[in-house]
Amino acid sequence: MAHLSTWQAKLTSTDAPAATVLIRLYVGAVFLFEGIQKFLYPDQLGTGRFDKAGIPAPGFLAPLDGIFEIVCGALILAGLLTRLATLPMIVNMLGALLITKLPILWGDALLFAGKSGWWDFIHESRTDLAQLCGSLFLLVVGAGAYSVDAHLHRTDDTAPIDVEPARR
């Protein structure tokens, strides 16, 4: 395996347990599928939703967001450049929370007419908060043992040991 540069090694290093794959599968799948749906259902989940939420340039930003969700979701699923892929998704989730969910607290959310207060906010924010926390977790610990990142980071001295005795 080729030697990784310092920044590549830092980006792909992970000593997270194998069970991290469960978080990666959840977070990556949700981003991937939500990104695809922005193109399948543009009026409800893409440009139309961005327009209704008051987000400027919805015809540009909704497809851009969809592309980022598809690409980053796929990278997270594969465990490839996982830490890097979580960064735009963290920004994405913070934006979704600030623009579309936070206004619920004072009853001024364009997407959630008739909803206001803490309980409506926390209910409508549950997926965004889960995605944000999952992305932050993956940013901190990396992709885990069952990932392309872990495979890329292995060196000859960390490769599995051949347990078969040598023939004489």
Q: Which pLDDT score, from 0 to 100, does residue 151 have?
A: 87
3-state SS of the chain: helix, strand, coil percent to 5?
70, 0, 30
- Rounded to whole angstroms, the Cα distance separating 104 from 109 reads 5
Q: Which pLDDT score, from 0 to 100, does residue 69 have?
A: 98
- Rounded to whole angstroms, the Cα distance separating 60 from 69 reads 14
Q: Which pLDDT score, from 0 to 100, does residue 155 have?
A: 58
Residue 140 tokens, joined: 């901190």
For the stretch 79-119, pLDDT in tens is 999 999 999 999 999 999 999 999 999 998 999 999 999 99
What is the secondary structure of 108-132 as a DSSP string? --TTSTT--SHHHHHHHHHHHHHHH
For the stretch 63-77, pLDDT in tens is 999 999 999 999 999
For the stretch 40-58, pLDDT in tens is 999 999 999 999 999 999 9
Contact call for residues 133 and 27 (beta carbons, < 8 A): no
For the stretch 127-153, pLDDT in tens is 999 999 999 999 999 999 999 998 887
- Rounded to whole angstroms, the Cα distance separating 93 from 131 reads 7
- Rounded to whole angstroms, the Cα distance separating 104 from 116 reads 5
- Rounded to whole angstroms, the Cα distance separating 26 from 14 reads 18
Q: Which pLDDT score, from 0 to 100, does residue 168 have?
A: 47
